[in-house]
């Protein structure tokens, strides 16, 4: 092996190693940033903008619950979509009808 080949191979190994170290450091920074999102020690949450909505919910919960409930047409649509998907499965397709007297050997 010539000196040039050795230099090229060592350069390739060093570039790969540098890339791997870079990726490792990048992932460590991302993990640290993600963990910092959930460390909220000493911070106060301002709930004043939510107070009117909470009071309305406490006064008339059933109205708020019905406002977000799905109606029957939505459920019927979901059932129809499920029926269409199931009908496309090979198990639920119609089997050929054999005339009487002919028996299909399994």
DSSP string, 52-104: HHHHHHHH-HHHHHHHHSPPHHHHHHHHHHHHHHHHTSGGGSPPPPPPTT---
6: left (phi over 0), alpha (psi -120 to 50) or beta: alpha
Contacts of 57 (CB under 8 A, 6+ apart): 64
Instruction: Compute the residue count for the chain.
Output: 106
Domains in the chain: boundaries: 1-36
pLDDT tens digits for range 40-82:
676 777 888 989 888 888 888 777 777 766 667 778 888 899 9
pLDDT of residue 31: 93
pTM over 0.85: no
Read off the pLDDT of each residue in 80-92 and give the average, rounded to a whole number.
86
Determine the Cα angle at 80 with ends 74 and 84, to 5°: 145
């Amino acid at each position: 092996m010539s000196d040039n080949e050795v230099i090229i191979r060592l350069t390739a190994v060093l570039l790969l190693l540098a890339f791997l170290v870079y990726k490792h450091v990048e992932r460590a920074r991302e993990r640290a940033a993600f963990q910092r999102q959930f460390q909220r020690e000493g911070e106060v949450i301002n709930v004043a903008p939510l107070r009117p909505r909470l009071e309305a919910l406490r006064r008339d919960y059933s109205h708020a619950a019905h406002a977000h409930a799905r109606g029957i047409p939505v459920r019927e649509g979901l059932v129809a979509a499920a029926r269409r998907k199931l009908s496309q499965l090979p198990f639920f397709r119609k089997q050929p009808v054999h005339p009487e007297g002919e028996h299909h050997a399994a």
